Structure 1
Amino acid sequence: MTSSTTGPTRRGLFVTGAATALTLGGMSFADAAPSGGEETRTVRGTLPPGSPDYVYLPVEVPRRVREIAVSYTYERPPVPAGTQGNALDIGIFDERGTGLGGRGFRGWSGGARPEFFLRADAATPGYIPGPVRAGTWHIVLGPYTTAPGGLPYAVTVTLRYGAPGSTPAPVYPPERAMGRGRAWYRGDCHLHSVYSDGRRTPAEIAAAARAAGLDFINTSEHNTHAAHSAWEGLWGPHPDGELLILTGEEVTTRNGHVVAVGTDPGTFVDWRYRARDNRFGHYAREIRRAGGLVVPAHPHATCVGCNWKFGFGEADAVEVWNGPYTPDDEIALASWDSTLATGGGRGWTPAIGGSDAHREPQLVGLPQTVVLADDLTREAILDGIRAGRSYLAESSAVSLAFGVSGGRARHAGIGERLAVGAGTPVTVRLDVTGAPGCTVRFVTDQGTLHTAPLPASGAGTVEWRTTPRYAAYVRAEVRHPPAPDAPGLPGAPAALTNPVFLGGADGAP
């Protein structure tokens, strides 16, 4: 049985606790609950320019429903150059409600797919399997951008009746993999699969990660934790070594994206707020309470809603290199570097990188974050990232050893402090392999103070001498030659490090 309703009416304003969202007139199946078969309803309407970020369509679901299936379409008329066209996201909340925090959250696919289903034993990737209980469900529409003439849409809901089935217990990745003790471990903290808007399956990502020489990855789907249980059997053992799989989410708000790295499996982080709502601090603390790290992603990206607007006070690290290096990344790197000179290196925010790979030919592990950790465990990797004991590299072919020594044979490595007097001579040393044709740059709070080309082999050692009075910190960059089509910009990095801070002994800077 199929019916159609046109022109849903505005039923009222639904306050989520952070922003006002529109609730539409709903669709009801409550008058008919046959013992078998299915029923379909369709609603149509038009969202005007300036609609709220999220629009909720209530669906009255009766008893004895086995499966709910949803599809949607919307018009995409041509628009003049420089004008945003229509783009509409979609997800669903169950009878537990749409309140912030996501107690009723059952899935999100954004604009990645035109239809989805969920039932007790299975769901479309991005959605959470579980029983379809009676009550008021809500389909959530997200008008990402709206053309001047509005956004005409149609949403179709099909309920299939029958025995509900059972929901299997999720199997999550272990928090420990076979490692090498205290060592440098390579990882990619920003990846997407078919569980959001990626095209690779988890198995394909795991294979690509091993091929890239990675030891760990972080699953970071847009606005859903549905992939946390999708990695069974992919962590090891394996001829190329075990793979530590961290679970997280890319929290995709209208004022920027933040990657939650290494949260407890099954953790959902809400995204339905803007900077003006003053809610981000609450959810940043939720990420940390779930054991994860708060990492603003591609903070200077130019796509709609991608530029980071929440500030960095809650950040545990910041993504300064996102996929193939672009001018956006150069701005992110420079902005991050400008924060290192304040506070004497106390309370500083480390840098990481992530591929943000979605599909071929985007490379998993370009770049990778190389972390000094006590072992290949969730806790140790996150501790290493949080402490800044890491560098970024374009591939596993590039390896660095970077440190500073001086003053009674003291030594400090990446993310550490060499606590010597302000006038103490110190030696900065970088050992590089795998970077042919590149140039080494030593960067301080004054800027780049030393450069040196590497041998043609791409392997070499560069040393430089300074004092804490002259350089509050030093970090290393290994750069390719400048691109001919980007005049005035330095070449893309083959690698770059977090800083070593200098001074701090006997009241020195």
Structure 2
Amino acid sequence: MQRRDVLRLSALAGAAGVLTLDPVTFAQAEERDGGDSGGGSGSEQTKTVTGHLPTGSPDFVYLPVEVPRGVREIAVSYSYDRPTVPAGTQGNACDIGIFDERGTDLGGRGFRGWSGGARTEFAISAEQATPAYLAGPVKAGTWHIVLGPYTVAPQGLDYKVTVTLRFGEPGETPKPVYPPQRAKGRGRAWYRGDSHLHTIHSDGKRTPAEVAAAARAAGLDFITTTEHNTTSSHPAWEGLWGDDLLILTGEEVTTRNGHVVALGTDPGVFIDWRYRARDNAFGKYARKIRQAGGLVIPAHPHGTCVGCNWKFGFNDADAVEVWNADFTPDDEVTVQEWDNTLVAAARGDGRWLPAVGHSDAHREPQVVGLPQTVVLADDLSRTAIQDGIRAGRCWIAESSAIDLSFEAVGGRGQHAGIGERLKVGRQDEVTVRLKVSGVGSGCTIRLITDQGQLYGTAIPDSGSGTAEWRTTASYAAYVRAEVRHAPADGGASGVPGRMAAMTNPIWLGER
């Protein structure tokens, strides 16, 4: 089959470019089976398409498939070459997904699955689908297999796609069972959660059951399922929630210019990802996340993988993931960048972006709950957890072994906790107190303000300690706490050790 060498840039409004290939056609079931009106049960047809994509290809290459009547299942497999490339040059990486007869419009209803580069084959029928794909009838019409040439070698990318249609009775699609949006909880309390997790429904290796077990072992109260560009995991948690574990649904919207955690979106709601920062489309999809009841949380803004850096800005965000998995230099940069936004909020309208942390765990030995966000919420429910995060009533810890309390108290008994404002006069004395337990030996406490660190002290080797510092609102517009491990180089470089726990700020003074 010859590909049509035309960039249909208007095919997806706001997309970074689309190449549409010539369609693959199949015979009707009755034609193949000599007029059998019974649908040709048990028969199948297979066709293979090959092609070449040069460097600079558009983000998405669509292969139309004309699906006739009587198809029970569509199965797709693909492969592509991986030639040797010069040092420092990206090689070939190509993702895959599929849209059904309802079309490929951005945000449209045709989405049926996306496995990125995690799978080389998938199948969809009414009764079941490969993880990352959505079960449902295989109706007649033009389906589109979508290839995503993520990176292309200088030699270009040779691909092969094989499509198999299996004919027969369509079967019944099971009604999805989604997790409840409330668990028993403990009333108003601090709840621990990890809201960036992957399973076999995208590029993870764990099953939902294994993730749920790991969450309980980590002492978590809630988790959020956030697969890359798919909602197929939403009904996959049946029987895994309970009074002790709230399971929220969401998505990691994985664009070419950064990833965003859509935390707590309505079950089954898909958020599109086919745009770049230069398309000026993210605001629209941030609104869609909120319309679906979710929070907009940019993930690993300074991640080192291709496409992981956050390029969309933070104006549309509800919070930011400042700590992703093990605390590494990219997290250090993100924390400092986030702290700079606090300084801007102190001199501006007061709107600020809360910090959260997630494990982004995909497989062993990555640890579910490293780190975890600890949220003060009225109960263990989607709405209450989201309200706590949105208000910044949360702190981050590397494990459930760590506990802390952080408060600011005014001279007349005024009190404020994490994410709150202590309303005192600019020259009124304020006492800031931190109590921490469960950290390792060699850790230190740092109190950070809009001027930087203004107080620090060592924690006893027992792993428990307190800090008390006095200031005024004129001296510190806000104060937040960090608990750090000892620096790897003993402090010779001046770079602090990795994070053990950190809080959102307490704001000081009247606005």
TM-score (normalised: structure 1): 0.96
Deviation at 1:439, TM superposition (A): 0.2
User: Does residue 1:212 correspond to 2:209, yes or no?
Assistant: no
User: For residue 388 of structure 1, what is the aligned residue in structure 2?
Assistant: 392
User: For residue 440 of structure 1, what is the aligned residue in structure 2?
Assistant: 445
Amino acid at match of 1:456: D
User: For residue 146 of structure 2, what is the aligned residue in structure 1?
Assistant: 140
User: For residue 36 of structure 2, what is the aligned residue in structure 1?
Assistant: none
Query: CA offsets, 1:411-431, max 9 Å, x none?
Result: 000000001000000000001
User: For residue 350 of structure 2, what is the aligned residue in structure 1?
Assistant: 346
Question: Structure 2 CA distance, aligned partners of 1:131 and 1:58?
Answer: 18
Amino acid at match of 1:18: G
Deviation at 1:30, TM superposition (A): 4.0
Question: Structure 2 CA distance, aligned partners of 1:375 and 1:417?
Answer: 22
Secondary structure, counterpart of 1:228 in structure 2: coil
Deviation at 1:106, TM superposition (A): 0.1
Match of residue 76, structure 2, among 62, 70, 74: 70
Match of residue 489, structure 2, among 484, 487, 492: 484
User: Does residue 1:18 correspond to 2:36, yes or no?
Assistant: no
Question: Structure 1 CA distance, aligned partners of 2:278 and 2:465?
Answer: 50
Question: Structure 1 CA distance, aligned partners of 2:411 and 2:59?
Answer: 57
Secondary structure, counterpart of 2:233 in structure 1: helix
User: Does residue 1:53 correspond to 2:55, yes or no?
Assistant: no
Question: Structure 2 CA distance, aligned partners of 1:275 and 1:313?
Answer: 13
Q: Is the 8 A contact 1:10 1:25 kept in 2?
A: no
Q: Is the 8 A contact 2:80 2:159 kept in 1?
A: yes
Secondary structure, counterpart of 1:282 in structure 2: helix
User: Does residue 1:494 correspond to 2:500, yes or no?
Assistant: yes
Question: Structure 1 CA distance, aligned partners of 2:58 and 2:224?
Answer: 32
Q: Is the 8 A contact 2:7 2:18 kept in 1?
A: no
Secondary structure, counterpart of 1:10 in structure 2: coil
Amino acid at match of 1:503: G
User: For residue 454 of structure 1, what is the aligned residue in structure 2?
Assistant: 459
Q: Pairwise mapping of residues 250-289 of structure 1 onto structure 2 (< 5 A)?
A: 250-289=252-291
Deviation at 1:12, TM superposition (A): 5.4
Secondary structure, counterpart of 2:290 in structure 1: helix
User: For residue 227 of structure 2, what is the aligned residue in structure 1?
Assistant: 221
Deviation at 1:102, TM superposition (A): 3.3
Closer/same/farther in 2, CA of residues 485 and 251 from structure 1, 3 Å limit: farther
Deviation at 1:101, TM superposition (A): 0.2
Deviation at 1:456, TM superposition (A): 1.0
Question: Structure 2 CA distance, aligned partners of 1:99 and 1:262?
Answer: 24
Q: Pairwise mapping of residues 280-319 of structure 1 onto structure 2 (< 5 A)?
A: 280-319=282-321
User: For residue 158 of structure 1, what is the aligned residue in structure 2?
Assistant: 164
Question: Structure 1 CA distance, aligned partners of 2:79 and 2:53?
Answer: 13
Question: Structure 2 CA distance, aligned partners of 1:99 and 1:488?
Answer: 51
User: For residue 430 of structure 1, what is the aligned residue in structure 2?
Assistant: 434
Q: Is the 8 A contact 1:89 1:141 kept in 2?
A: yes
Query: CA offsets, 1:320-378, max 9 Å, x none?
Result: 00000100000000000001012337110100000000000000000000000001111
Q: Is the 8 A contact 1:12 1:24 kept in 2?
A: no
Q: CA-atom RMSD, angstroms? A: 1.2
Query: CA offsets, 1:230-256, max 9 Å, x none?
Result: 00000025xxxx210010000000010
Closer/same/farther in 2, CA of residues 87 and 502 from structure 1, 3 Å limit: same
Amino acid at match of 1:354: H
Q: Is the 8 A contact 1:30 1:60 kept in 2?
A: no
Q: Which moved more, 1:25-34 or 1:305-314?
A: 25-34
Question: Structure 2 CA distance, aligned partners of 1:203 and 1:485?
Answer: 41
Deviation at 1:502, TM superposition (A): 0.2
Match of residue 129, structure 1, among 115, 135, 139: 135
Secondary structure, counterpart of 1:333 in structure 2: helix
User: Does residue 1:28 correspond to 2:33, yes or no?
Assistant: no
Q: Pairwise mapping of residues 97-112 of structure 1 onto structure 2 (< 5 A)?
A: 97-112=103-118
Q: Is the 8 A contact 2:4 2:20 kept in 1?
A: no
Question: Structure 2 CA distance, aligned partners of 1:133 and 1:435?
Answer: 57
Deviation at 1:144, TM superposition (A): 0.3
User: For residue 329 of structure 2, what is the aligned residue in structure 1?
Assistant: 327
Deviation at 1:489, TM superposition (A): 2.1
Deviation at 1:407, TM superposition (A): 3.1
Closer/same/farther in 2, CA of residues 12 and 303 from structure 1, 3 Å limit: closer
Q: Which moved more, 1:33-42 or 1:95-104?
A: 33-42
Q: Is the 8 A contact 2:319 2:355 kept in 1?
A: yes
Q: Which moved more, 1:13-22 or 1:268-277?
A: 13-22
Deviation at 1:284, TM superposition (A): 0.2
Question: Structure 2 CA distance, aligned partners of 1:324 and 1:343?
Answer: 28
User: Does residue 1:202 correspond to 2:204, yes or no?
Assistant: no
User: Does residue 1:474 correspond to 2:479, yes or no?
Assistant: yes
Structure 1, unaligned runs of 5 or more: none
Question: Structure 1 CA distance, aligned partners of 2:363 and 2:108?
Answer: 29
Structure 2, unaligned runs of 5 or more: 34-39
User: For residue 355 of structure 1, what is the aligned residue in structure 2?
Assistant: 359
Deviation at 1:461, TM superposition (A): 1.2
In the comparison of the two structures, how many residue pairs are matched?
Answer: 496
Q: Is the 8 A contact 1:66 1:161 kept in 2?
A: yes
User: Does residue 1:371 correspond to 2:352, yes or no?
Assistant: no
Secondary structure, counterpart of 1:222 in structure 2: coil
